[in-house]
Chains A and B, each alone.
Chain A
Amino acid sequence: MKAEDLMIPVQDYLKPEQTLKEAVNLLKTAKKGEERVGAKGLPVLDEAGKLVGMLSMRDILKAVHPTYMDIMNLGKFTWDGMLEEAAKKIADKKVYTLMSKDVITVKEESPLMDAVDNMIKNNIKRLPVVDNNGKVTGMIYERDLFFAIVKSMLNENIGGEK
């Protein structure tokens, strides 16, 4: 099985110039398969459809988390309302300022082990799949890889069906 057999086609994506407010709205309602259940992360594509970044829920969490708290353990000294205040402050920031820029991708014909390797080494849960022109065609999720493993373990036929 290859990446393209497991990937879920990309239907929603973000643009670098969008504000975070617009981005979180899309994240909240993005399609996954047929359902609008929201997504934990979406690819960011430029005008030409080229992949320039990924914006995930974790990036939003990082955006409200003050950088000085990375250096020291200050979580115990925060106050009620601090998060809400920070959220209001970042609402109008542009997607490109907060997205993860060095995106790791796999090719459509990559073996699934390549996807697993990338997820483990880079501690990520979703990977964009790109075609030979570098265009994003789908996403591979940790959950779907898990199901692929389960199927193999239980000797089920995983050839054709999803």
Chain B
Amino acid sequence: MTEEVKAATEVVMGTQFWVATAIFILVYGLIVTEKIHKTILAIVGAATMIILRIVTQEDAFHNIELGVDWNVIFLLISMMIIINIMKPTGVFEYIAIKSAKIAKGKPFAIMAIFSTVTAVVSAFLDNVTTVLLIAPVTMLICQALELDVVPFLLTEAIASNIGGTATLIGDPPNIMIASKAQLDFMAFIYHLTPVIIICLIVYVITLKFVFGRKLKVKDELRQRIMEMNEKEAIKDPVLLRKSLVVLAITIGGFIFHGMLHFEPATIALAGAGLLLLVSGIKEPHHILAEAEWATLFFFIGLFIIIGGVVKVGLIKWMSIKVLEITQGNLFGTSMIIMWFSAFASAFIDNIPYVATMNPLIIDMAKQLWPNVTGIELLHHPDLMPIWWSLALGACLGGNGTAIGASANVVVCGMAEKMGSPISFKRWMLYGMPLMIQSVIITTIYVWLRYYVLKI
């Protein structure tokens, strides 16, 4: 017993430790500078970890603790396949045009409905895809109404980051946390969705105060919106019907995957396979090629780099330091993790951040409860609020700056191409207060639910 505790708190800082730490710092540092593409850095860093024998290839490719988390990779690939098949059906154009008509072309109503639709779609599709689908229609609507498109794009990107936090499949940090902590889809629905709904309602009310009065359009311009026929958006009604059925089955599968003892990636892969089969696509090459391989290889590389620093004990050392700061106060730990994650994710990519935090939290749990192992350790009642704090902080934090989340970067890129660039300052002016607002809401939620009411 005493030996176990000793072993758990000691880290040997040998050559391997420093080499792995140097690779880790170098890769993360270079990612921040954006001089070299992050995916290239991740691949080079991962290869270096293996070449210098920090991790073996066996570890990197086949050990989920020290290498690639294929659950995450296959969940992402499968969802990308499903979306790529659905995109050409025109369903997303249909939803957006229909929303604008429901809003009767009134600008604030459009902003509120578009934000809500973006948040809901983001909960099931990844955030970048969602904004790529909603932004072009937003630009068209704004041009028709002769409105400045920037507030609309900005509010949609923020809504997509809020909505993505709600489910296991909504945002990559959640996918990673779910896999590491072995949490199922319904756990996210039960623990995160309620507070995200509150965040979204408060968000839309806030938008009313910020933009409500400024947005005005002439009645004759609204006529342009009312004359659009959303039904013309549907290019392939047969494929659309098939896609919607398969999507419904897939989401049903997610809801029951915990009960059925299937990993989320299994459900997603089955959904993607089924849709490829029934879609009647003869040559799957372009559907598969359109998956975001750069993102996927970024994940693959990161997992191996993190495996290296986990193996040499850097992550364990960091977890000891965190426990020293919080002195075992678990409420304090979860608050620090939530707020630190929020501000960290506002400035750095939340994917490498969460990839690092996951093993750190597990190492921390090992030291707190040395006699507990496996699923009982991962789902220790006192550990659960910490997982939720990490998910909430890392996902919502992305709203703080223009570079905080991939959706923000995509939206800024599109706005610039349109000739109305969004400056870093302008984003922060709106994004930072809105981010802080949502993290305050989630702070109250976590405190009340897990530390006061304990439900």
Q: Which A residues fall within an 8 A CB radius of B?
A: 66-69, 71-74, 76-79, 82
Taking the closest CB of chain A, its distance from the CB of B243, in whole angstroms, is 16
B418 touches A76 (CB 8 A): no
Chain B residues with CB below 8 A from A82, complex form:
143
B414 at the interface (CB under 8 A from A): yes
B229 touches A72 (CB 8 A): no
Chain A residues with CB below 8 A from B418, complex form:
66-68
Q: Mark B126-148, 1 if CB is under 8 A from A, else 0.
A: 00000011011101100110000
Taking the closest CB of chain B, its distance from the CB of A162, in whole angstroms, is 45
Q: Which B residues fall within an 8 A CB radius of A?
A: 90, 92-93, 97, 132-133, 135-137, 139-140, 143-144, 224, 227-229, 232-233, 235, 414, 417-418
B97 touches A71 (CB 8 A): no
A68 touches B136 (CB 8 A): yes
A74 touches B144 (CB 8 A): no
Q: How far is the CA of A76 from the CA of B93 in the complex (A)?
A: 11
Q: How far is the CA of A85 from the CA of B267 in the complex (A)?
A: 49
Q: How far is the CA of A67 from the CA of B413 in the complex (A)?
A: 12
Q: How far is the CA of A72 from the CA of B92 in the complex (A)?
A: 9
A-B contact list, 14 entries, CB within 8 Å:
A66-B139, A66-B140, A67-B418, A68-B418, A69-B136, A71-B132, A71-B136, A72-B133, A73-B90, A73-B93, A74-B136, A76-B229, A77-B97, A79-B144
**Closest chain B residue, CB of each to CB of A67:** B417
B228 touches A66 (CB 8 A): no
A68 touches B227 (CB 8 A): no
Taking the closest CB of chain A, its distance from the CB of B138, in whole angstroms, is 8
Chain A residues with CB below 8 A from B136, complex form:
68-69, 71-72, 74
Chain B residues with CB below 8 A from A69, complex form:
136, 140
Taking the closest CB of chain A, its distance from the CB of B99, in whole angstroms, is 13
Q: How far is the CA of A73 from the CA of B88 in the complex (A)?
A: 9
Q: How far is the CA of A42 from the CA of B132 in the complex (A)?
A: 35
B224 touches A79 (CB 8 A): yes
Which residue of B143, B224, B229, B233 is within 8 Å of A66 (Cβ)? B143
Taking the closest CB of chain A, its distance from the CB of B319, in whole angstroms, is 44
**Closest chain A residue, CB of each to CB of B416:** A67
